[in-house]
């Protein structure tokens, strides 16, 4: 049985991935502050941005994991409204801890358990390759995530473990709605930025993530799951 180890699967894209893999007879392990609501998902409460996260993960994963085919999905992320000229170092570090340091730490701890057929899937963003105002820390972290994925691909060559970065477009999640203040007019203008004139659904992104996790031919790829962005 394959194991899905995913961060931030209590809602949104993460929960959609967890449900899809559970339905396909994966063992599903969720690492997040809040539990996923579905029976069958193994929930382990952890704040991946805390100073004790690494020691807690070392203890936990040694008990939870065993050698086998593992799909590691780096889904948990944090988004602040901030700018290049008005972000404190502490606030910047807070974003990096969850968006970059946590994936690095998990890689170090989980890769030794991975056998050929395993995969590491990074969840990027449309903002992994472009930028908009007032999302400074998030943009920086998501650009760096592509670099982390590409370095992972090279360093694991010959191991039988593959990797990719799936970059969702504007997806109908709580994080997006909270970021725009649940303003329907803003959401409609964002939806109009795709060639389909709508937001991406979490299930659509989850389907793309599962495909990437199960198909090593895409090793090292950046996969856009955005319905086609209208370029201005």
Q: What is the pTM of this model?
A: 0.95
Pure H helices in 40-135: 53-64, 89-96, 102-110
Confidence of residue 173 (pLDDT cuts 50, 70, 90): confident
Q: What per-residue confidence (pLDDT) applies to 181?
A: 66
Give Dmax (Cα) for the chain: 50
Q: Is the pLDDT of residue 148 over 70?
A: yes
Q: Are 191 and 199 in contact (CB under 8 A)?
A: yes
Burial class (CB in 10 A: 0-12, 13-18, 19+), 210: buried
Average pLDDT for residues 128-154, to the nearest whole number? 96
Q: Which domains does the chain have, with CATH numbers?
A: 3-225 (3.40.50.720)
Structure tokens belonging to residue 190: 């964002």
Question: Does the pLDDT value for residue 88 go beyond 80?
Answer: yes
Residue 195: which of 170, 178, 173, 175 has the closest Cα? 170
Distance CA 128, CA 139 (A): 6
């Amino acid at each position: 049985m394959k194991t899905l180890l995913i961060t931030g699967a209590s809602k949104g894209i993460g929960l959609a991935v967890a449900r899809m893999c559970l339905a396909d007879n994966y063992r599903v392990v969720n690492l997040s502050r809040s539990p996923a609501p579905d029976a069958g998902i193994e929930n382990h409460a952890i704040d991946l941005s805390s100073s004790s996260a690494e020691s807690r993960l070392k203890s936990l994963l040694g008990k939870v994991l065993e050698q086998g085919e593992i799909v590691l999905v780096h889904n948990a992320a944090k988004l602040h409204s901030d700018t290049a000229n008005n972000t404190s170092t502490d606030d910047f570090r807070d974003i990096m801890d969850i968006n970059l340091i946590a994936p690095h730490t998990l890689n170090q701890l989980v890769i030794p358990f991975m056998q050929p057929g395993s995969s590491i899937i990074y969840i990027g963003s449309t903002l992994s390759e472009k930028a908009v105002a007032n999302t400074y820390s998030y943009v920086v972290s998501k650009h760096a995530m592509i670099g982390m994925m590409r370095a992972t691909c090279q360093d694991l060559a010959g191991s039988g473990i593959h990797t990719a970065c799936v970059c969702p477009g504007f997806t109908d999640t709580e994080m997006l709605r909270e970021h725009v203040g649940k303003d329907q007019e803003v959401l409609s203008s964002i939806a109009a930025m795709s060639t389909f004139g709508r937001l991406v659904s979490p299930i659509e992104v989850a389907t793309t993530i599962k495909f990437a996790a199960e198909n090593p031919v895409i090793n090292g790829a950046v996969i856009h799951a955005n319905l086609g962005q209208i370029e201005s």
